[in-house]
Amino acid sequence: MSIVGAIMVPHPPIILPEVGGGEEKKIAATVNAYDEAARFVASLKPETVILTSPHSVMYSDYFHVSPGKGAKGDMGGFRAPQVKFDVTYDSEFTDRLARKAVHDDFPAGVLGEKDAHLDHGTMVPLYFINKYYTDYKLVRIGLSGLTLPDHYRFGKLIQHVCNELDRRVVFVGSGDLSHKLLAEGPYGYVPEGPQYDEKIMDVMGRAAFDELLDFDNNFCERAAECGHRSFCIMAGALDGCGVTADKLSHEGTFGVGYGICTYKVESPDDKSAGSGRDFLSIWEEQRKKVLDEKRAKEDPYVKLARRTIEEYINEGKKIDVPDDIPDEMKNSKAGVFVSIHKEGMLRGCIGTISSVYENIGREIIENAISASTRDPRFDPIRPHELGALEINVDVLSDAEDIDSKDELDVKRYGVIVTKGYKRGLLLPNLDGVDTIDEQVSIALRKAGLSEHEKGYRLQRFEVVRHE
């Protein structure tokens, strides 16, 4: 056997009577659906439960799998220390998964355990499952800051290990939905909140897992969702499987979305049946077509940045400024930023506020190399990533002093804040930056200054963006 089923569940501590003290009755539909999902798990009699939690150990560029023989936890942080958990880990599965990740050069493993105690994203689902079934071992997995397709790829890697070990496995994707459904809720309201919940429940209710990968990251962030990456790993673990989906409930009573679905695996590998459930391959093929079309339309600025990156990553060579670039790239000087995205997420961005080199062409070459290999936020780009990269080149005008934020426009002007030796810059027209206050606040943080800092110098500049 392999993965025999999965459930998508939330993890609000208030749903436990010992924590809610009666408040859980306000989400009775969620409670009832949770019990139904837990009975579904029990009916499958899994040997191993794999659970992904947004509140386990999380790194920006690595998936953490909890090591050791087991772990304990309690709900003491939610005023219910009497609710205790003591789980046994499937250490054989964990070890095999870590070895597979090393073999595939995939950023996952058992390194970096900061706190071995169980998190509430793990304990709440186990509370319900344990009411009906306890004869299992657990594999606990955290999320990462990597792309949504990377989370799906990790799920496929997990599926491979399930098949190798021939375990009866149930996958639990733990995660709340939007945290911004109600103005009176603890996190407030944004329109993207209910939009996200409606969309994710539709996608998960149809088991249309390829559509999970098309959610815009800025949309997800504005909605303040919690579980999307957890659901992506679960979807990857079910890749190619014929499943029957059952959407049990959705509530947002407290301003946070709680959604519950179950997935029964009817056929472990449905690819041969032509059902089209090899979702990652389908998504990658569609994505490649989009990128190929976009690449064919790149202007000389982006073409130079791309050629620079590809030759430097593949061969370790820095190219010379070509003779066949437009005259303005050879005869003009300006500050330049090179931004690199992969699968909807930033992969590197380095630039110069004003010109450093003899012309724009050289400025692009130097900053393209830095953006792809020296951005301290990211590992250097590797050869296998080159085909998935989207590249922008921004050419900056000279900065001009301004007296107040009233002279800014987030779509038209970038901003520079300076105080002493500290300086922060933010480009204009960035996704997710919608107000002047947000723009200046981010620039201040980039400068290492407080958002409430006084007495800083304010400048603005315009850019010509090349895509």
Residue pLDDT, tens place only, 345-355 = 999 999 999 99
Yes or no: say if 184 and 255 are a contact pair by the CB < 8 Å rule.
yes
How far is the C-alpha of 253 from the C-alpha of 251, rounded, in Å?
Answer: 6
pLDDT at 212 exceeding the cut of 50: yes
How far is the C-alpha of 423 from the C-alpha of 129, rounded, in Å?
Answer: 52
Q: Which pLDDT value is given to residue 114?
A: 84
Q: What is the average per-residue pLDDT within 307-328?
A: 95
Yes or no: say if 6 and 172 are a contact pair by the CB < 8 Å rule.
yes
Which amino acid makes up residue 394? D
Please report which confidence band the pLDDT of residue 434 belongs to, taking 50, 70 and 90 as the band edges.
Answer: confident
Q: Which pLDDT value is given to residue 163?
A: 94
139 membership: H or E segment, kind and range:
strand 137-142
How far is the C-alpha of 446 from the C-alpha of 428, rounded, in Å?
Answer: 15
Q: Kindly report, as residue ranges, where domains of CATH 3.40.830.10 are found in the chain.
A: 3-286
Q: Which pLDDT value is given to residue 419?
A: 92
Give the other-Cβ count within 10 Å of 256's Cβ.
26
Q: Of 151, 149, 205, which is closest to residue 177 (Cα–Cα)?
A: 205
Q: Which pLDDT value is given to residue 274?
A: 44
Give the CATH superfamily of 3-286: LigB-like (3.40.830.10)
Question: In this structure, is the dihedral angle defined by the CA atoms of residues 315, 321, 324 and 327, taken in order, positive or negative?
Answer: positive
The strand pair at 137-142 and 48-53 is best described as: parallel
Please report which confidence band the pLDDT of residue 272 belongs to, taking 50, 70 and 90 as the band edges.
Answer: very low
Which amino acid makes up residue 375? D
- Burial label for 86, CB within 10 Å (0-12, 13-18, 19+), is exposed
Yes or no: say if 301 and 393 are a contact pair by the CB < 8 Å rule.
yes
Residue bearing tokens 């077509």: 289
Q: Which pLDDT value is given to residue 451?
A: 83
For 119, residues 6+ apart whose C-beta sits below 8 A from its C-beta are: 53, 55, 56, 73
The DSSP letter of residue 188 is -
pLDDT at 273 exceeding the cut of 50: no
Q: What is the average per-residue pLDDT within 407-426?
A: 92
Yes or no: say if 70 and 88 are a contact pair by the CB < 8 Å rule.
yes
Please report which confidence band the pLDDT of residue 239 belongs to, taking 50, 70 and 90 as the band edges.
Answer: very high
What pLDDT digit, counting tens, does each position of 49-77 carry?
999 999 999 999 999 999 999 999 999 99
What pLDDT digit, counting tens, does each position of 188-207 carry?
999 999 999 999 999 999 99
The strand pair at 63-64 and 108-109 is best described as: parallel
Please report which confidence band the pLDDT of residue 1 belongs to, taking 50, 70 and 90 as the band edges.
Answer: low
How far is the C-alpha of 2 from the C-alpha of 449, rounded, in Å?
Answer: 52
* Mean pLDDT, the chain, whole residue set: 94
Question: In this structure, is the dihedral angle defined by the CA atoms of residues 298, 299, 301 and 307, taken in order, positive or negative?
Answer: positive
The DSSP letter of residue 165 is H
Please report which confidence band the pLDDT of residue 267 belongs to, taking 50, 70 and 90 as the band edges.
Answer: confident
Yes or no: say if 353 and 322 are a contact pair by the CB < 8 Å rule.
no
pLDDT at 441 exceeding the cut of 70: yes
Q: Kindly report, as residue ranges, where domains of CATH 3.30.700.20 are found in the chain.
A: 298-466
pLDDT at 124 exceeding the cut of 80: yes
Q: Which pLDDT value is given to residue 432?
A: 81
- Burial label for 335, CB within 10 Å (0-12, 13-18, 19+), is buried
Backbone angles phi, psi at 405, to 5 degrees: -65, -15
Q: Of 232, 250, 264, 47, which is closest to residue 147 (Cα–Cα)?
A: 232
Q: Give the pair of three-digit tokens for residue 316.
A: 């370790």
Burial 159-184 (b: 16+ CB within 10 A, else e): bbbbeebebbbbbbbbbbbbbbbbee
Yes or no: say if 257 and 197 are a contact pair by the CB < 8 Å rule.
yes
372 membership: H or E segment, kind and range:
helix 360-373
The strand pair at 400-401 and 457-466 is best described as: antiparallel
Residues in the chain: 467
pLDDT at 108 exceeding the cut of 90: yes
What pLDDT digit, counting tens, does each position of 353-376 carry?
999 999 999 999 999 999 999 999
Q: What is the average per-residue pLDDT within 214-235?
A: 95
Measured in whole angstroms, the distance separating CA 112 from the mean position of its chain's CA atoms is: 19
CATH topology (fold) of 298-466:
Glycoprotein, Type 4 Pilin (3.30.700)
How far is the C-alpha of 381 from the C-alpha of 322, rounded, in Å?
Answer: 23
List the alpha helices (DSSP H) in 1-89: 17-20, 28-44
Yes or no: say if 162 and 1 are a contact pair by the CB < 8 Å rule.
no
Give the other-Cβ count within 10 Å of 373's Cβ.
16
pLDDT at 269 exceeding the cut of 70: no
Give the other-Cβ count within 10 Å of 387's Cβ.
13
Q: Give the pair of three-digit tokens for residue 320.
A: 């010379």
pLDDT at 257 exceeding the cut of 70: yes
pLDDT at 258 exceeding the cut of 60: yes
What pLDDT digit, counting tens, does each position of 29-46 carry?
999 999 999 999 999 999
Which amino acid makes up residue 28? A
Yes or no: say if 42 and 262 are a contact pair by the CB < 8 Å rule.
no
339, β-bridge pairs: 349, 392
Burial 343-359 (b: 16+ CB within 10 A, else e): bbeebbbbbbbebebeb
